[in-house]
Amino acid sequence: MSLEFELLAQRLEKVRQIRELGYEPYGRRFDFTHTLGEIRRHWGDKSAEELEPRVQVRVCGRIHTLRLMGRAGFAHLMQEGERLQIYVRSDAVSERDYKLFRMLEPGDIIGAEGYLFRTRTGELTVHVERLEFLAKTLLSMPEKWHGLEDVETRYRQRYLDLIANPEVRRIFLIRSRLISSLRRQLEKRGFMEVETPMMQPLYGGAAARPFVTHHNALDIDLYLRIAPELYLKRLIVGGFDRVFEINRNFRNEGISTHHNPEFTMLEFYQAYTDYRGLMDLSEELLRQAALDATGSTVVEYEGHRLDFSRLSRYSMREAVVEFWRGPGRPTLDDVRDPGWLSRHSTRATPGEALVDIFERVVEEQLIQPTIIYDFPVETSPLAKSKPDEPDFAERFEIIIGGMEVANAYSELNDPQEQRRRFDEQLRMRARGDEEAHQMDEDFLRALCYGMPPTGGEGIGIDRLTMLLAGASSIREVILFPLLRPEGPIGLADRLRELDR
């Protein structure tokens, strides 16, 4: 008999004993008077005298540690990442409650009623007068010193990670505050939150391979969206001048520390502005989001102090000149010269070569929040080109910690130009570029009704969370990152065998 099975059998026996004592091993509603955090905040710095007259409390939580002595014992409860000690002595509770207490083990969830006091060593503690049993753990908790270290188990069983590693809570708290902050800021500026299709008959708005699914009743294939862009712009056509969406995109590509197949994007569109307007807006959004999520505009990331209070700005060509490494630093004229570009990249067009050089040489050096603007038009099929330089698009990205965090542009609203860009994408597709855009005629039709000049931007929420939370892998900021399925666990069989 394996240990795991033996432990399970022991604990099921305890379930029986708990029931025999007259407690419900899987209890019901427990009306606590305070969370453990509230108790720490209200009485954490009060002296023993200040805890008179007695403060009665009802608390609950999961047992973290147990220290049993002959006729008494201590335990730490955990609730919402906060810890509080309880003290149970045999002459302070009923015989039945004391029997229950001796039966508890780390991981069990209990309720306790009593009064606050300070121990000899000064720790704020609940002197228990009544115990309630709320839920039995049947499986062992991870080790209390190191927590749960195994990365695979942490991701597969995130609930266990959250129980064992309180610092993981912090990451997801930051993520939640970040999203909340962005939503609040946009709403304050008159943006309306909308939801557009995740299942799309045509995919577009980005260059990526899609996931395909099938609708039975209509008998059609549908794609999980790679971006919401084309639908959000339809809403701009329809007269919702400020819209945003915070939701998942799906891209059928490799998994890495910076890529998860499903990831969360904020996209927002504002009529009557352009990419310059969005640069200013982005600066405000990021500054406030960092502040709301972490309490500061300066955060630590992989040994750097990232300052979210401002965004440096370089055109892509300036950035190549400015961040060139080694000999042969180009001039601004060089990076405009197709000959120079083709000597430094194998890509077909000057624009693709510039992007290639930028990504190889510059991007990883952009640690502080930085705007890179003016992208070659051939890599930006949905962006308006610059009036004085039609080979370039009014587009920028925000790069932080070497990662692309945002992408924005003045939206292309000329339907004839958009049709030409789609045609070019179709030619690229015909040459085997799977990620080139499809022709979306309904989107074209929408533009034909007239879309006001508009600025649009997407912000990668996962990557921004990584930066704000100091996480080096995107999987650390996604509660349930995609993993290969683990295969049979065998727990149901064991439970079945022990169910008598």
Partner RNA sequence: GAGCCGGUAGCUCAGGCGGUAGAGCAUCUGCCUUUUAAGCAGAGGGUCGCGGGUUCGAGUCCCGCCCGGCUCACCA
Phi/psi at 158 (5° precision): -60, -30
Query: Is residue 144 a contact point for RNA (CB under 7 A)?
Result: yes
Count CB neighbours of 266 within 10 A.
Answer: 22
426 contacts 435 by C-beta, under 8 angstroms: no
Q: Binders of RNA among 84-103, rule CB under 7 A?
A: 85, 87, 89-91
Q: What is the separation of C-alpha 347 from the centre of its chain, rounded to a whole number of angstroms?
A: 34
Looking only at residues 239 through 278 of this chain, which bind RNA when binding is defined by CB under 7 A?
251, 253-254, 256-259
Q: How far is 346 from 469, CA to CA, in rounded Å? A: 38
Write the interaction track for RNA spanning residues 26-65; mark x where CB under 7 A is met and - where it is not.
---------------------------------------x
The correct pick among 50, 149, 300, 441 for binding RNA (CB under 7 A) is: 149
Query: Of 344-363, which residues contact RNA (CB under 7 A)?
Result: 355-356, 359
DSSP state of 157: T
Tell me the number of residues near RNA by CB under 7 A: 75
CA 70 to chain centre: 47
Rg of the chain over CA atoms, in angstroms? 29
Task: State the minimum distance, in angstroms, from the CB of residue 142 to RNA.
Answer: 4
Residues 280-319 that bind RNA (CB under 7 A): none
DSSP for 56-80? EEEEEEEEEEEEE-SSEEEEEEEET
142 sits near RNA (criterion: CB under 7 A): yes
140 binds RNA (CB under 7 A): yes
Least distance in angstroms from the C-beta of 348 to RNA: 12
Shortest Cβ 310–RNA spacing (Å):
25
- Residue closer to RNA by CB (options 150, 389) is 150
Parallel/antiparallel/unpaired status of strands 454-460 and 385-386: unpaired
CB distance 444 to 247 below 8 Å = no
Any contact of residue 389 with RNA (CB under 7 A)?
Answer: no
Which residues in the 177-236 window bind RNA by CB under 7 A?
A: 206-208
162 is a site residue for RNA (CB under 7 A): no
Contact 429, 394 (CB under 8 A): no
- What lies within 8 Å, CB to CB, of 483 at 6+ separation is 152, 155, 156
Stretch that binds RNA, among 24-32, 284-292, 326-334, 374-382 (CB under 7 A): 374-382
Which position among 186, 232, 366, 382 is part of the footprint of RNA (CB under 7 A)?
382
User: Token pair for residue 472?
Assistant: 């080096």
Show the site string, 107-126: x = touches RNA by CB under 7 A, - = not. ----------x-xxxxx-x-
Residues 420-449 that bind RNA (CB under 7 A): 435
Find the part of the chain contacting RNA (CB under 7 A) among 6-14, 49-57, 173-181, 269-277. 6-14
Q: Is 71 in the site for RNA (CB under 7 A)?
A: yes
Is position 2 an interface residue for RNA (rule: CB under 7 A)? yes
483 class by beta-carbon count within 10 Å (0-12 exposed, 13-18 middle, 19+ buried)? exposed
Query: What is the residue whose two structure tokens read 């003045």?
Result: 410
Q: Which of residues 455-494 bind RNA (CB under 7 A)?
A: 472-473, 475, 481, 483-484, 486
The H or E element spanning position 416 is: helix 415-430
The reply to whether 141 sits near RNA by the rule CB under 7 A is: yes
Among 249, 380, 410, 425, binds RNA (CB under 7 A): 380
- Applying CB under 7 A, which of residues 26, 41, 68, 480 lies at the interface with RNA? 68
**CA dihedral of 359, 362, 366, 372, whole degrees rounded to 10:** -70
Min. distance of Cβ 344 from RNA in angstroms?
Answer: 15
Cα–Cα distances (Å) from 446 to 77, 179, 269, 408, 496, in that order, read 59, 30, 16, 21, 59
Contact 136, 25 (CB under 8 A): yes
Find the binder of RNA among 4, 195, 300, 423 (CB under 7 A).
4
- Pick one of 37, 38, 99, 153: the residue that binds RNA (CB under 7 A): 153
